[in-house]
Amino acid sequence: MSMGLEIQPCSIEVVANQHPAIGVYGENPYHITQLPEGTYNLTEDMLHGRPYANFGAHATDWEDGAIPLTGDNVSGLPIDISTPGSYDVTYSVTDSYGNYAEAIRTVTVVADELPVITMCGDNVTIKFGEVYTEADDNAQGSYCSPVTSVGAFATDFEDIDLTVTATPSTGRWPMQDLVIGGTYYVTYSATDSFGHEVFAQRTINCIENSPPNISLEPPAEVVFVADSDALPYVDPGAKADDGDGIDITDQIVIVIKDNTSGGTIAGPIPLHFAGNYTMEYTVTDQVNVPVSVERSVIIEGANLPPTINGFENSEPANVGIAVYLYASIADLDGEELRSYEFTLAAAPEGSILNDNGTFKLNTIDPPSSSMTVNAVLIPEKAGSYTVKLAVSDGVDTAVASHTFEVVEDPLNTVTQSADNTVVSDGTVVS
């Protein structure tokens, strides 16, 4: 009997129940270094300041959704990480249908490593009489301080900070009274939390100390003439080393002695007035007595120029006859004259001048502070002649002029040459 309802066919698919899906968080496998004591729970261990957590696992199920995990879902904890080896931490879940799933994290405990000591700097060589020292406790962190070239630091995989102790072979700091040729040591030690003690050693060699060397930049003596406009003296300096090739020029001490007053001056040396000074350069090292060199700085009084006196000529002054010129020259400072020069400054028109007008040029040799000089001139024409004489002392030059008249030879038959040879009618006679 139909009641007006129509039944439609349908299909139902029956599928197998799905197992939960489970996976671990974090690193897998996980490596951790052996720690020194007892059994540790990975949720609390510290590794180089970074906490190691039980990273855990996650699980989901098609029917049940996310499945929470508790301590009951984890096996294999705690791990004894004081003992090297490989350990499994197993995470497991069961869904509402009783389906089981698990994930495994492998934890490897690596054997402890010994600390390592690193020395800052190399072995040390010191000179006899010097003192060597380091801080008794040379913990400098995990680096060598840029301020010091000695000391040491230690690194360790498990321990963040390790103290390094420095012990001298002499038994106490500082190391002193060392013997030439002796070999000494600084021993560095550090102990990690496992009780592992490690050592490093620096060698200290004591050698004979060489005295320092010092030398002037030349010259050893400088002489100036006082000048109100002169700038102060600029010294060329000196150079020094410690006897073993190390430059210590910057350690030179300069003292300026005023030899006139017997005292010292701060410098620089003035060149405005006369004076006599000694510059003393001194350098020393930590062991030897000082060594010194000296430079003499002399400022002479204002220079007096040379003098020229008695500048005259021989008589008679005739055409064709040698005329001799004389002068007395001197240096009023008593110093040596450097040179003198006669120059023909004026002559009658048409005269033929020798050597571009210079008929006598002498350099005084040997030098003298006073002397008589002369020159000879054979006039070619009658008229007025002017001769100049210049004398130098190396600083100033004095100049004097002498003018004389030349007339025709009254006999007009004889000519005297510079070498006193007489020429008459073309015939040469003595």
Q: What is the CATH number of the domain that holds 65?
A: 2.60.40.10
The pLDDT assigned to 376 comes to 85
CA distance 402 to 345: 10
Q: Please indicate, yes or no, whether residues 199 and 221 belong to a single structural domain of this protein.
A: no
Q: Please indicate, yes or no, whether residues 377 and 333 belong to a single structural domain of this protein.
A: yes
Write out pLDDT tens, residues 257-284: 999 889 999 888 988 878 899 999 999 8
Has residue 12 been placed in a domain? Answer: no
Eight-state DSSP code of residue 9: P
Write out pLDDT tens, residues 37-85: 544 444 444 333 333 446 788 999 988 899 988 888 888 887 777 788 8
The residue out of 207, 241, 269 marking a domain boundary is: 207
Contact 161, 140 (CB under 8 A): no
Q: Please indicate, yes or no, whether residues 278 and 345 belong to a single structural domain of this protein.
A: no
Q: Please indicate, yes or no, whether residues 325 and 413 belong to a single structural domain of this protein.
A: yes
Give, in degrees to the nearest 5, the angle at Cα 137 between 122 and 147. 50
Q: Please indicate, yes or no, whether residues 329 and 417 belong to a single structural domain of this protein.
A: yes
The residue out of 300, 335, 357 marking a domain boundary is: 300
CA distance 411 to 81: 142
Q: Please indicate, yes or no, whether residues 180 and 268 belong to a single structural domain of this protein.
A: no
Class of residue 353 by CB neighbours under 10 A (exposed 0-12, middle 13-18, buried 19+): exposed
Helix (H) or strand (E) holding 312: strand 306-313
Q: Please indicate, yes or no, whether residues 181 and 251 belong to a single structural domain of this protein.
A: no
Tokens of 349: 């028109």
Write out pLDDT tens, residues 305-350: 899 999 999 888 998 888 889 899 998 777 778 888 888 888 888 7
CA distance 275 to 172: 56
CA distance 424 to 413: 6
Has residue 140 been placed in a domain? Answer: yes
Has residue 194 been placed in a domain? Answer: yes
**Does this model's pTM top 0.75?**
no
Class of residue 226 by CB neighbours under 10 A (exposed 0-12, middle 13-18, buried 19+): middle
Pairing relationship of beta strands 221-225 and 253-258 according to DSSP bridges: unpaired
Write out pLDDT tens, residues 111-122: 777 888 888 878
Has residue 13 been placed in a domain? Answer: no
Pairing relationship of beta strands 197-207 and 124-127 according to DSSP bridges: parallel
29: left (phi over 0), alpha (psi -120 to 50) or beta: beta
Range 11-28 average pLDDT: 80
Has residue 10 been placed in a domain? Answer: no
Domain that holds residue 291: 213-300
Q: Please indicate, yes or no, whether residues 174 and 253 belong to a single structural domain of this protein.
A: no
CA distance 189 to 173: 16
Range 418-422 average pLDDT: 38
Has residue 9 been placed in a domain? Answer: no
Q: Please indicate, yes or no, whether residues 311 and 415 belong to a single structural domain of this protein.
A: yes
Contact 168, 137 (CB under 8 A): no
Has residue 237 been placed in a domain? Answer: yes
Q: Please indicate, yes or no, whether residues 421 and 361 belong to a single structural domain of this protein.
A: yes
Number of domains making up the chain: 4
The pLDDT assigned to 282 comes to 96
Q: Please indicate, yes or no, whether residues 415 and 367 belong to a single structural domain of this protein.
A: yes
- 3-state class of 357 per DSSP? helix
The pLDDT assigned to 368 comes to 79
Has residue 8 been placed in a domain? Answer: no
Tell whether the model's pLDDT for residue 419 goes beyond 50: no
